[in-house]
Chain A
Amino acid sequence: MMQSVKKGDIRKWAGAGVQDLIVDLVNALSAVKSLAEISCEIADEKTLIRQALAGLLRNQDMERCSFFVADHEGTLTNVTGLSIVDLPDAEHAWATRPMQFRLGEGIIGHAASTRTMQYCENCFEDRRFAKVADQAHMPGSIVCAPVCTLHNVLIGVLNVSHPQAHFFTDWHMRLLDVYANVLGQLITNRRLFQQMEMEIASRTAELERLVNETRRLKDHYANLSMHDQLTGLHNRRYFYDQVELALAQHKRYGQPFCLLVMDIDHFKSINDLYGHGFGDQVLITVADTLKTQVRSADILVRFGGEEFIILFTNTSCENGRVLAERIRGQVKALGWPVEAENVRVSLSIGLYCALPNSADADQQLDIDAIIHRADSALYAAKAKGRDRVEVFDTSPPHNGDCSAKREPS
């Protein structure tokens, strides 16, 4: 319910200047509010300070303001300034270099060193301004408010000026004190935020580096665990890992495949005669020869010692045999000169053909059973004098081309 204004009340208003107080109060609160609305996430400190100065000029009757930032060496450097005739986005172009003061030097340096607000009411009569080169732009009055962190560490000095001497009132001083405090907190928060951002970025980069390193090591050790370091071929672990796919395709699409188990004949004797280093060379050369005989979809591994396995995918028994013979021939053609001698090796190969309509297919054999059957064929090849290919006989005896019989073990 609105109360009526009595005549006595009206007389009280007269001369009280209450309207100016209201406007001053709203303007002061608006200035502080505009400062409080500046985001501490602004990347550039100068932009933040410029926004703070613009908010002050927009809501107050000062003519010019500037900010000097303190560095670790005690130098105060002017980073930005604004006046009421500047465009909001105008950038001051320094004629030579920005103005600087040492701590304690001039009114700005004094405000910084004492951490107390300084007010020069009449610059025209103040000896500190006697040597100002640009007398035309010399202020009539100036207030320098130190801006500090919460722990009273100096950030810089906020300066506001007016061409008129004795311009600033207690009201201005109190507002500037509050404004400088809030600005100090804002700059502190921005710096902490930037530090935090940099810390996060640094830690994120470190984490990414560690993740990449971990991934690289994982890949490296996974690679190591799947590869035979001597020959560069995949190893037994890889074989079991990959062979499931070939088996699945065989079962699902009825694709035939051939499994060759190969063993270098008399390899132990080679090691004994020529040394393990020579034996290793033999293994490497044989492995390289085998590599030339497989396609990308086939699986070639060093299964252990001098034993190798190849799984030829989507390959008929006839083709498997041709391939096995070719491999045997190529290995037999290899030679290693040792002094006057040319050392040669041979390969015994056991071949198992997985055919879609065979009796084995109905049994849904697993890989171990298949390897065991190829091994049986290899055993047969060894038993029949080595350096030969034997095919495990999966068909009934009366209609099988593949006539190898497994010797009793």
Chain B
Amino acid sequence: MNDPIKHSVQLKINRLKSLPALPEASVKILEAIHDPDVSIEKLAEVLALSPGLVARLLGLANSAYFGQARQINDLRTAIVQVLGLQLVRSLTVGIVLNVQIDSSQCRGFDTHSFWMHSLLTAVAAQKLVACDPGTSVNSSTVYTAGLLLHLGVLVIAYLFPQELGPLLANEQRDYLTLSDEINRQLGLSHYQVAYMLLNKWQLPDVYQMILRRFEDLDLTGDDAEPIHILRASQRMCCLLIEEGCAEPERLEQIAWESFIAKDAIVSVYAELVDKKEAIQKLADAMGAR
């Protein structure tokens, strides 16, 4: 690992106060924030459309200042029990209106693609957990972890737009191979970059652990299950975005690699195919495209 580069990445992450809310979510977030009658559930649901906001709000809720006895893992609890609606509104409006990616500097970064990857991975992970009644993995935790899985790409696009741009120029590049390219360029994968940020922002240990160990080859113990679920979710997501309907062999391969029942993978993938249309429509309705 290139230590000077890592150090410089660490320094930049150290100064990072917030990440941009993506255009796909911004309009919807502003609408919800301005609605005096919006329910907490609805607000949390809308805010969850922005991985950067989720990370920032969860990090603040877990900061020493708020002194929570236990870690706050989900957004709704963060809003209701810790931050309060007023602070969330102020912070969210500020981020949505003021923090943007310089698209001229990072031409290859497609916010729509990033958003689809994040959301589909989160939804897939949640559905895989629902398929296994015996699992100890928490559904909302794995959803949030899925949402945060590619946060490193957003961080790099925001902090190192010129380094990331050329890597994204290749249209054949998907988020699986992108990680290797980023690693070659920065000496760190985008998972490690995301871990640095989550660590700095003091997100709950479970999210830090997932990002820190996501590329580990020998996973054991309690850490293994959520990571296997997220790896499978990520692969399904990439498959869905690239190919739509997948060959059974591909799904069987995902099931085998992630120690998840093939039936669960097949069933969740079929649901994702339907969901993809809905998410696509949602993005179009928001005027993102």
- Report A's interface with B, CB cutoff 8 A: 1-5, 10, 13-20, 22-24, 26-27, 29-31, 33-34, 37, 55, 58-59, 61-63, 84-85, 162-164
Nearest-CB residue, chain A, relative to B8: A163
Q: Is A29 a contact partner of B65 (Cβ separation < 8 A)?
A: yes
Q: Check B124 for interface membership: any CB of A closer than 8 A.
A: no
Q: Is A23 a contact partner of B18 (Cβ separation < 8 A)?
A: yes
| B55-87 contact mask (Cβ, 8 Å, vs A): 1 or 0 | 010001001111100000000000000000111
Q: Is B98 a contact partner of A17 (Cβ separation < 8 A)?
A: yes
Please report the C-alpha to C-alpha distance between residue A163 and residue B87 in the assembled complex, in whole angstroms.
33
Nearest-CB residue, chain B, relative to A34: B64
Residues of chain A within 8 A of B202, CB atoms compared: 58
Q: Is A22 a contact partner of B90 (Cβ separation < 8 A)?
A: yes
A-B CB contact pairs (8 Å), 17 listed: A1-B36, A2-B89, A5-B93, A13-B94, A18-B91, A18-B98, A19-B98, A22-B87, A22-B94, A26-B60, A30-B65, A33-B67, A37-B64, A58-B202, A84-B11, A85-B7, A85-B10
Please report the C-alpha to C-alpha distance between residue A196 and residue B94 in the assembled complex, in whole angstroms.
51
Interface segment among B27-35, B177-185, B225-233, B271-279: the answer is B27-35
Nearest-CB residue, chain B, relative to A6: B34
Residues of chain B within 8 A of A20, CB atoms compared: 17-18, 94
Residues of chain B within 8 A of A16, CB atoms compared: 94, 98
Q: Is B65 a contact partner of A33 (Cβ separation < 8 A)?
A: yes
Residues of chain A within 8 A of B36, CB atoms compared: 1-4
- Report B's interface with A, CB cutoff 8 A: 6-7, 10-11, 14-15, 17-18, 30, 33-36, 56, 60, 63-67, 85-87, 89-91, 93-95, 97-99, 202
Q: How far is the CB of B81 from chain A (nearest CB, A)?
A: 16
Residues of chain B within 8 A of A29, CB atoms compared: 65
Q: How far is the CB of A206 from chain B (nearest CB, A)?
A: 42
Residues of chain B within 8 A of A22, CB atoms compared: 87, 90-91, 94
- Identify whether the interface residues of B are mostly helix, strand, loop, or mixed: helix
Q: How far is the CB of B22 from chain A (nearest CB, A)?
A: 16
Q: Is B99 a contact partner of A19 (Cβ separation < 8 A)?
A: yes
Q: Is B17 a contact partner of A19 (Cβ separation < 8 A)?
A: yes
Residues of chain B within 8 A of A2, CB atoms compared: 36, 85-86, 89
Q: Is A10 a contact partner of B93 (Cβ separation < 8 A)?
A: yes
Residues of chain A within 8 A of B98, CB atoms compared: 13-19
Residues of chain B within 8 A of A84, CB atoms compared: 10-11, 14
Residues of chain B within 8 A of A24, CB atoms compared: 17
Residues of chain A within 8 A of B67, CB atoms compared: 33
Nearest-CB residue, chain B, relative to A20: B17
Please report the C-alpha to C-alpha distance between residue A27 and residue B89 in the assembled complex, in whole angstroms.
18
Q: Is A27 a contact partner of B91 (Cβ separation < 8 A)?
A: no
Q: Is B65 a contact partner of A13 (Cβ separation < 8 A)?
A: no
Please report the C-alpha to C-alpha distance between residue A59 and residue B17 in the assembled complex, in whole angstroms.
11
Q: Is A26 a contact partner of B65 (Cβ separation < 8 A)?
A: yes
Q: Is B60 a contact partner of A14 (Cβ separation < 8 A)?
A: no
Residues of chain A within 8 A of B35, CB atoms compared: 4
Nearest-CB residue, chain A, relative to B18: A19
Picked from A5, A55, A58, the residue with its CB within 8 Å of the CB of B89 is: A5
Besides A13-B98, A23-B91, A162-B11, 16 new A-B residue pairs in contact (Cβ under 8 A), listed by A number: A2-B85, A2-B86, A10-B30, A13-B90, A13-B94, A18-B90, A18-B93, A19-B17, A22-B94, A26-B60, A27-B65, A29-B65, A33-B65, A58-B202, A84-B14, A85-B6
Residues of chain B within 8 A of A62, CB atoms compared: 14
Nearest-CB residue, chain B, relative to A35: B64
Please report the C-alpha to C-alpha distance between residue A61 and residue B197 in the assembled complex, in whole angstroms.
12
Q: Is B11 a contact partner of A63 (Cβ separation < 8 A)?
A: yes
Residues of chain A within 8 A of B60, CB atoms compared: 23, 26
Residues of chain B within 8 A of A164, CB atoms compared: 11
With contact pairs A19-B99, A27-B63 given, residues A5 and B33 touching in the complex (Cβ less than 8 Å): yes
Nearest-CB residue, chain B, relative to A63: B11
Q: Is B17 a contact partner of A23 (Cβ separation < 8 A)?
A: yes
Q: Is A10 a contact partner of B97 (Cβ separation < 8 A)?
A: yes
Residues of chain A within 8 A of B56, CB atoms compared: 23
Please report the C-alpha to C-alpha distance between residue A27 and residue B63 in the assembled complex, in whole angstroms.
8
Residues of chain A within 8 A of B89, CB atoms compared: 2, 5
Please report the C-alpha to C-alpha distance between residue A268 and residue B3 in the assembled complex, in whole angstroms.
104
Residues of chain A within 8 A of B18, CB atoms compared: 19-20, 23
Please report the C-alpha to C-alpha distance between residue A59 and residue B99 in the assembled complex, in whole angstroms.
21
Please report the C-alpha to C-alpha distance between residue A61 and residue B14 in the assembled complex, in whole angstroms.
5
Which 8 A-B residue pairs are closest in the complex by CB-CB distance? A19-B94, A30-B64, A29-B65, A30-B65, A4-B36, A18-B94, A23-B17, A30-B63
With a 10 A CB-CB cut-off, give which of B6, B60, B85, B94 has the most chain A CB atoms.
B94
Q: Is B14 a contact partner of A63 (Cβ separation < 8 A)?
A: yes
Please report the C-alpha to C-alpha distance between residue A63 and residue B10 in the assembled complex, in whole angstroms.
9
Nearest-CB residue, chain A, relative to B64: A30
Nearest-CB residue, chain A, relative to B94: A19
Q: How far is the CB of A138 from chain B (nearest CB, A)?
A: 15
Nearest-CB residue, chain B, relative to A59: B64
Residues of chain A within 8 A of B85, CB atoms compared: 2
Nearest-CB residue, chain B, relative to A57: B14
Q: How far is the CB of B153 from chain A (nearest CB, A)?
A: 21
Nearest-CB residue, chain A, relative to B199: A58
Q: How far is the CB of A321 from chain B (nearest CB, A)?
A: 85
Q: Is B97 a contact partner of A14 (Cβ separation < 8 A)?
A: yes
Residues of chain B within 8 A of A85, CB atoms compared: 6-7, 10
Residues of chain B within 8 A of A30, CB atoms compared: 63-65
